[in-house]
Structure 1
């Protein structure tokens, strides 16, 4: 395919941004596309260090996520949506954002469409009519049409491709703080702990006490929740840090307790770490359940259930001899699967294929030519196949 000028809009956390940056870097370096990434200012350096153009993203992320496809239609350019969770109806699983057991799996996707339409449909039609001069969408239109070409896990038909999780490798160029290196070398591999919290100060106290009771060393990741607070004094068996490349840190850990974001779960399993999930929303719970059902960690718990007892139980599940070797073996199996994938190249081939279709038909309307790429889904598929 000839070199193109491509704009990529990324909304979310580091786990959402990193895999897309990995795809963008590959597209630019191997295929000479010029890529501009529009995302949050916190990730400016991540984008620029990859040799990509950066544009700061402003406005309400929720509105931006829903508007970009309509703006692409207005500009008459091809549109490709990259997602780590399924939006196209499937009988395989419940919609990750409406995980009510007992409902028909496919029906949950329709219900999510209805909820999204009721909350944003009139706003989007106003945008299309008043600002973009496009025809309004019909009442209760699907936000992701079933004919959208996609890259997902399960077999949705000819419009759907499968890649795998796209990792941004940062360990090679990372220079860790000397204090962290010294601490890691001073004892047994630690458990990495980082997840959201309704009460960061109380949660930090629980983590410290749980590590003490279980006799474990721990690394606490501050994250957006601010775990660890502003204090600089912690027991010797605990190290508190800000952002750090997971592909450098996790191989040096004995286990990982995280929020269940698909990027963090994938990085933990790729490192062969037993993994526990403390989730805040339903798509995070999905990944936690997949990990647990395949023996690589305990059942996920909600952040509202965090207590000294549940934290101790999660840590013990990852380390106690009677289950550790089984859990570690499963994590290593999943690591081997993930490391065999050529997901980035598969993702780029998928993008090129759908863009080529768009150029041949010269039709970029929302109804006829949007496309969709899911970069996290092979993780779920392959775990389910083991």
Structure 2
């Protein structure tokens, strides 16, 4: 069993998760393990995932916001920066809905049983903005995430793909400020009107530099992306956190018969990504499979890929809602969007892979897969063609690529990311619980970098204020 200090009390823990299923699923795995230690865990996320969370035996509480709307925004704008004035309103509506639901998620009774709940600790991803809640309630906050968010000189922020290494560290500050300027009004309204805290004049006056001052656990394997040397002792790279849904999955008999008809297929799916022209993408996939002589599984996903094709070949199967940890070991290779969860499951299954990134961290994982020799260079969705996909499939089917994938899979299978995440949470808890609420008086003198960005933040707030 993972490290556990017997003096740690059984806590009521609010887990706040904003994002897609790929964000929610590893949190759910950690939530289940925390429950094994006797903690009372509530996972608060979008209503879209209510059934998913409850089916795992974890208390669900709804957060505002719709992950489909947010993914649509990111897909259209290829990242956070809006491409048109109307897009700003989309983000503002989503941000307000999320922020307005944070306090109830940490303090309201169980929505099914009515049992009282008051968070004694918060675990959140950065997009959930658990800072203000932790400050108001006087409870510890632990950041848990699948994407690098702590500033480093080793690589750029995934949402700001800076080409020059000199800008890597600053890219994290840029993204942090960009997000803060978009949500600061909602956060300050929450602080003043519901949490009875002073509003934040500038982000760095209160939260310093990004999340560097908070205990943070990153859920990926160090065999794929080692912890940078400039991340301090508050940061852990714990390993992938698997929920292991496949152990209880019973596939339909029609699916089993199709799998038994021939060689292992190529899996192709883009998860929660939305497609501008799903018919065109499906046609590219079908032609590439025909040219390479491969059987294929097309996962419909949120983009409804392949659903418009009525003349699907017999050696291609349309699929939806199948656990990847059951499916991927039965595939020869996989082609996907590069989401952290899909990448992790494919690596554990020993699958060579081609990543077709849309935005954000998908490019990072695509580059890491290429650098490790586990697949070809990533193919951005805008550059996906019959030729590029055919060449990628041919690359993945090389025996040496499969051998490298299997060697890495053995290393990942030995890791216990869920246990390491729970251990890190316990290790970073303060020695005294409950914590004293922080004084409003600040003795710290900001370092020059903090001072500079504090001034920039104040200037931008003045410019952006109505």
Give the TM-score of the pair, scaled to structure 2: 0.73
Displacement after TM superposition at 1:122 (Å): 3.6
Distance 1:170 1:41 in 2: 20
Displacement after TM superposition at 1:174 (Å): 0.6
Residues 122-158 of structure 1 show CA distances to partners (whole Å, capped at 9, x for unaligned) of 4422332233221222424257342222224334122
Partner of 2:63: 57
CA 1:360–1:125 in 2, change beyond 3 Å: closer, same or farther? closer
Structure 2 stretches lacking a partner, 5+ long: 1-7, 68-93, 99-126, 219-226, 443-466
CA 1:60–1:217 in 2, change beyond 3 Å: closer, same or farther? closer
Distance 1:243 1:262 in 2: 18
Distance 1:138 1:50 in 2: 41
The number of equivalent residue pairs is 363
Partner of 2:293: 215
Displacement after TM superposition at 1:232 (Å): 5.5
Partner of 2:154: 92
Is the 8 Å Cα contact of residues 35 and 53 (structure 1) preserved in structure 2? yes
CA 1:172–1:303 in 2, change beyond 3 Å: closer, same or farther? same
Displacement after TM superposition at 1:334 (Å): 1.4
| 1:78 equivalent in alignment to 2:140 | yes
Is the 8 Å Cα contact of residues 190 and 218 (structure 1) preserved in structure 2? yes
Residues 191-219 of structure 1 show CA distances to partners (whole Å, capped at 9, x for unaligned) of 00012332111111111111111110000
Is the 8 Å Cα contact of residues 328 and 351 (structure 2) preserved in structure 1? yes
CA 1:9–1:117 in 2, change beyond 3 Å: closer, same or farther? closer
Is the 8 Å Cα contact of residues 76 and 365 (structure 1) preserved in structure 2? no
Give the TM-score of the pair, scaled to structure 1: 0.88
Displacement after TM superposition at 1:116 (Å): 2.0
Instruction: From 235, 239, 251, give the equivalent of 2:313.
Output: 235
- Partner SS, residue 423 of structure 2: helix
- Partner SS, residue 257 of structure 1: strand
Is the 8 Å Cα contact of residues 46 and 66 (structure 2) preserved in structure 1? no
| Structure number, greater radius of gyration | 2
| 1:146 equivalent in alignment to 2:221 | no
Instruction: From 299, 321, 333, give the equivalent of 2:407.
Output: 333
Instruction: From 163, 171, 174, give the equivalent of 1:108.
Output: 171
CA RMSD of aligned residues (A): 2.2
Partner of 2:17: 10
Residues 24-83 of structure 1 show CA distances to partners (whole Å, capped at 9, x for unaligned) of 111112x11121212233433332222111223333665233543212322333222211
- Partner SS, residue 356 of structure 2: strand
Distance 2:169 2:30 in 1: 30
Distance 1:365 1:13 in 2: 36
CA 1:230–1:34 in 2, change beyond 3 Å: closer, same or farther? farther
CA 1:247–1:9 in 2, change beyond 3 Å: closer, same or farther? same
| 1:175 equivalent in alignment to 2:253 | no
5 Å matches for 1:267-278?
267-278=345-356
Is the 8 Å Cα contact of residues 217 and 236 (structure 2) preserved in structure 1? yes
CA 1:10–1:146 in 2, change beyond 3 Å: closer, same or farther? closer
Higher normalized contact order (CA 8 Å, seq sep 6+, divided by chain length)? 1
